[in-house]
Amino acid sequence: MSDAPAQGRDFRFPDGFLWGAATAAHQIEGSPLADGAGPSIWTRFAHTPGMTLNGDTGDVACDHYRRWKQDVALMRELGLKAYRFSVSWSRIHPEGTGRVNQAGLDFYSRLVDELLENGIEPLLTLFHWDLPAALDDRGGWLNRDCADWFADYGTTLYRALDGRVKKWATINEPWVVTDGGYLHGALAPGHRSRYEAPIAAHNLMRAHGAAAQAYRAEGRHEMGLVVNIEPKYPAGDSPEDAAAVRRAHAYMNEQFLHPALLGRYPDELKDIFGDAWPEWPAEDFALIRQPLDFVGINYYTRSVTAAGDSYPQRTAVVRQPLGTYTETGWEVFPQGLTDLLLWFKDTYGDLPVYITENGAAFFDPPVAEGGRVRDPLRTDYLRKHLSAIHDAIAAGVDVRGYMAWSLLDNLEWSLGYSKRFGIVHVNYGTQERTPKDSARWYSKVIASNGRTLSDPLPY
């Protein structure tokens, strides 16, 4: 269906559909300790030998901390209507709590003003993985006080920016923070503990609830949560595969949306975590389940799932021999986006949704003379996924916007600079930005509100 966007189809999106691109502070800003900022766990992690590919760090990244004005000009040139970015908590509160570092706040205040002057709506995420190191020293997400720390940090930003910022999100992808950061250790803070992972996940959700609640006291606009959803499909017809799908889905997708929107965990988690799954105080769920104005969904891939031995969910991902895979080894599967949006509506009702990330790392050729980067696979990826979203909207899902991941090639966390997700190429030696063909193509889609999706690709 959505695999080949049909020519001649009317692809216009609803009026006011928010077309944009996304980034995250640690992945693009560089200068992590500038102007009085404290270190984050990511700066510390990347400076620990052996933790990132080639020892890559975010010390320079895309130098956006100094080139933000030029980057906003580029967004305008591309015709973006919105820009999703995150704030680095330890620029605002160098010790994680208490003292505010005005210079850090000023950076984001200037960025927001510049976006607004250029007609670009800011979507601000409070936390995209770069926890202040000072808070990690106090237990980080394992400390129940993190809910108060996070609400206080949010309040600092709401007071400074609400009104100029009208779309807020608390946390980006709590699943990745806990699975990567506390269970398997590939991401900061690099812990590997089956006992810690559910505690960190639960406290992240308590922090989400506390910051969303604090927003209602200070803010007047929209507040949401951003999750990554990976739909699970059974590898075969066996009851074992069906049960594996249930476990994988509960672990990765429902673990966060269920408490946030339904006030409970899916039953499977008790079985999945066994003796590492605590009894949670009932009152925690009242804190976690706050009224939200939207949910942000990040979608990259699906997984075809069988019973297996991955921990904790006891599944295996079955590679598809005829599938197309990206440079990060993720299957390209646009239909999964339609399917998950329909599942979301069926399960959680008519809450508005923004696709807050979607994109792909592919091998890009060098910048050609005349400043061209031919990236047909990325363009094709974006096109098919936009078509999949259009299908979901036609089926009644309230999707209000789309943020391509990413505006710029950037630091892919532990994988360093080895994977390029940008629609704009970044030369890390000179910091020159070159819009790839996919960016040029996306510009036209935005300008036509989707209509040009039905045009054949230009190559």
> Residue 78, CB half-sphere, CA atoms under 13 Å: how many?
29
Rounded distance, CA 206 to CA 345, Å? Answer: 24
Stretch that binds ligand BGC, among 34-42, 60-68, 172-180, 423-431 (CB under 6 A): 172-180
385: exposed, middle or buried (Cβ count in 10 Å: 0-12, 13-18, 19+): buried
Verify binding: residue 123, ligand BGC, rule CB under 6 A: no
Query: To the nearest whole angstrom, how small is the minimum distance from the Cβ of residue 406 to ligand BGC?
Result: 7
357 an active-site residue? Answer: yes
Interface with ligand BGC in residues 413-452 (CB under 6 A): 421
Query: To the nearest whole angstrom, how small is the minimum distance from the Cβ of residue 225 to ligand BGC?
Result: 13
Instruction: Pick the catalytic residue from 357, 369, 412, 432.
Output: 357
Verify binding: residue 173, ligand BGC, rule CB under 6 A: yes
Stretch that binds ligand BGC, among 1-9, 168-176, 269-277, 304-312 (CB under 6 A): 168-176
Interface with ligand BGC in residues 298-317 (CB under 6 A): 298
The interface mask with ligand BGC, positions 388-407, x = CB under 6 A, is: -----------------x--
Verify binding: residue 176, ligand BGC, rule CB under 6 A: yes
Closer residue to ligand BGC (CB): 25 or 160: 25
Query: To the nearest whole angstrom, how small is the minimum distance from the Cβ of residue 415 to ligand BGC?
Result: 8
Residue 83 in 3-state DSSP?
Answer: strand
Q: Give 309's contacts (C-beta < 8 A, 6+ positions apart).
A: 316
Contact (Cβ atoms closer than 8 angstroms) between residue 100 and residue 93: yes
Residue 357 in 3-state DSSP?
Answer: strand
Closer residue to ligand BGC (CB): 182 or 405: 405
Verify binding: residue 228, ligand BGC, rule CB under 6 A: yes
Verify binding: residue 357, ligand BGC, rule CB under 6 A: yes
Verify binding: residue 130, ligand BGC, rule CB under 6 A: no
Interface with ligand BGC in residues 231-250 (CB under 6 A): none
Closer residue to ligand BGC (CB): 61 or 287: 61
- Total residues contacting ligand BGC by CB under 6 A comes to 11
Rounded distance, CA 148 to CA 31, Å? Answer: 28
Verify binding: residue 201, ligand BGC, rule CB under 6 A: no
Residues in the chain, overall count: 459
Q: Which of 412, 439, 442, 445 binds ligand BGC (CB under 6 A)?
A: 412
396: exposed, middle or buried (Cβ count in 10 Å: 0-12, 13-18, 19+): exposed
Which of 441, 438, 341, 344 is CA-nearest to residue 388? 341
Verify binding: residue 52, ligand BGC, rule CB under 6 A: no
Contact (Cβ atoms closer than 8 angstroms) between residue 421 and residue 407: no
Which residues face 434 on adjacent strands? 425
Contact (Cβ atoms closer than 8 angstroms) between residue 46 and residue 38: no
Verify binding: residue 43, ligand BGC, rule CB under 6 A: no
Query: To the nearest whole angstrom, how small is the minimum distance from the Cβ of residue 26 to ligand BGC?
Result: 8
Contact (Cβ atoms closer than 8 angstroms) between residue 208 and residue 174: yes
Rounded distance, CA 134 to CA 88, Å? Answer: 13
> What tokens does 4 get?
């080949």
The interface mask with ligand BGC, positions 249-288, x = CB under 6 A, is: ----------------------------------------
Rounded distance, CA 150 to CA 89, Å? Answer: 9
Strand ranges (E), 279-394: 294-298, 303-307, 315-317, 353-357
Residues annotated catalytic, as ranges: 357
Contacting positions for ligand BGC (CB under 6 A): 24, 27, 172-173, 176, 228, 298, 357, 405, 412, 421
